Amino acid sequence: MNTKILHVDPSSIRFNKDEGIETCTPVFTDPKTKSYLEEASSILRSHKSCIGFPTETVYGLGASSLSDESVKSIYSAKNRPLDNPLITHVASLSQLHRRILPPSARIPDIYLPLIEKFWPGPLTILLPVEDDTILSRLTTAGQDTFAVRIPSHPVARALIAMSDEPLAAPSANASTRPSPTLAEHVYHDLRGRIPLIIDGGPSNVGLESSVVNGLTNPPMLLRPGGISLKQIQEVGHGWENIITAKKTANASEPVRTPGMKYKHYSPTAKVILFVKCGDGVKAIQEALSRYPNSNIALLTGSKFEIPENVLAQFAIVDHLGSTITEMSHNLFAKLRSLDENNMDYIFIEGVPDAGEGLALMNRLSKAAHETISNDSK
Ligand code: TXA
Ligand code: MG
């Protein structure tokens, strides 16, 4: 299969502010962007294959949530295990009601303040799934809930509105690889396996959406992401009590928080993560001495102060970012680019595993082969 890449201009898409998230009618000032998204929409409406498209978090691999055939195309293009359910993306609340929910269904009250504050944006909620749902059961992987969000990326929202297909879309990487934040990343992993990638420039946030379950009491944070735990707690109305789901350590256990048991976000190089290591000098020197004759890269944050003579022992030294927002935005792209440079090891300066740092540390610990912490001494 030939994989086509079409470049679109996100700044050429406008939404009527009065519509809010109730409805979505995109207006295009660039005819090429409009015609490319029409081309993408017709593939999505055929229910035969999935395509790569940009969202504000990471690139998604999208296909209609309403047909088994299209959802299967996602699992097979990615090599994704079938027990890891998918997020459905809609353009507006009216589309969610009209295309997915039964006529009598209401969104549970607990979600309303959250939706009001964070949609469109990087927050995914779980809704109950009815026995006679129109959703492909392959999107829910046997759960009695389905995950849904309204993305804020103009290209994603316009595409979903134009095709009028709710899109099941995991991150558009090959399973276990770092999520893609550029169209090139999608091409690298899925070339020949999908017909089309819409290139709308870099994904802003860089980490996936936060996934919350408000159907349990207390509500649960299933995956930290683009909206921080603190931002969610500040909404109140029950969300101040939100608890964080624990990882399922044992891969043979049934999947309680699906997706948590799998290896994730891994470059080919082995990631060594440094936490609570102060200025990093001692920990880095010790670790370097354990891997002689290796190609090692160092990705720094804001605390490490490594002297020149130590830096000289690395094949590549790069700055991940000075703030958590910057580090999150850069992480996946930097891991991928270090892989292109054939590193054996990537040393990464971590951040405190709390508050704003929760989502970044979640991805870093899943990518890590080993974590070096002063705490363990
Ligand atoms: O930012 C994002 O969320 C990106 C972009 C493309 O929108 N998508 C994404 O999808 O990260 P994916 O498939 O890589 O991650 C979906 C997450 C997984 O952790 C999955 O277990 C969880 O959502 N999930 C989906 N449906 C669920 C359900 N019914 N119950 C519990 N967790 C669910
Ligand atoms: Mg993913």
pLDDT digits (tens, 9 = 90+) for 168-225: 999 999 988 999 999 999 999 999 999 999 999 999 999 999 999 999 999 999 999 9
Candidate of 58, 127, 148, 211 to mutate for ligand 1, largest count of ligand atoms within 8 Å of Cβ: 211
Q: How far is the CA of 267 from the centre of ligand 1 (A)?
A: 20
- pLDDT for 149: 98
Residue nearest ligand 1's atom 8 by CA: 170
CATH 3.40.50.11030 fits 270-373, yes or no: yes
Ligand 2 is an ion; its neighbours by CB within 5 Å are: 171
Grouping H, G, I as helix, E, B as strand and the rest as coil, residue 375 is: helix
Q: Which residues in the chain come in under a pLDDT of 70?
A: 247-263, 375-377
The reply, when asked if residue 265 is annotated as ligand binding, is yes
Grouping H, G, I as helix, E, B as strand and the rest as coil, residue 123 is: strand
- pLDDT for 116: 98
Query: Residue 146 CA: which ligand 1 atom is closest?
Result: 29
* Every domain range in the chain assigned CATH 3.90.870.10: 4-244
Q: How far is the CA of 209 from the centre of ligand 2 (A)?
A: 10
The closest alpha carbon to 171, from 247, 62, 269, belongs to: 62
- pLDDT for 264: 75
Q: What is the DSSP string of 200-241?
A: ----SS-SPPEEEE-SSSS-EEEE--SS-HHHHHTT-TTGGG
- pLDDT for 251: 45
Tell whether pTM > 0.85: yes
- pLDDT for 263: 66
- pLDDT for 67: 97
Rounded CA-CA distance 67/47 in Å is 6
* Every domain range in the chain assigned CATH 3.40.50.11030: 270-373
The finding on whether 74 has its CB within 6 A of some atom of ligand 1 is no
The CA-based angle 172-176-178, given to 5 degrees, is 60
Rounded CA-CA distance 157/74 in Å is 19
| 178 contacts 332 by C-beta, under 8 angstroms | yes
Within 10 Å of residue 161's Cβ, how many Cβ atoms? 20
CATH for the 4-244 domain, from 1.10.3720.10, 3.90.870.10, 3.30.590.10, 3.40.50.920: 3.90.870.10
Give residue 176's identity as a one-letter amino acid code: T
Rounded CA-CA distance 136/125 in Å is 18
β strands within 92-236, DSSP E: 123-128, 145-149, 167-168, 196-199, 210-213, 220-223
The finding on whether 248 has its CB within 6 A of some atom of ligand 1 is no
The finding on whether 330 has its CB within 6 A of some atom of ligand 1 is no
Q: Which two tokens stand for residue 229?
A: 């735990």
- pLDDT for 22: 97
Q: How far is the CA of 138 from the centre of ligand 2 (A)?
A: 16
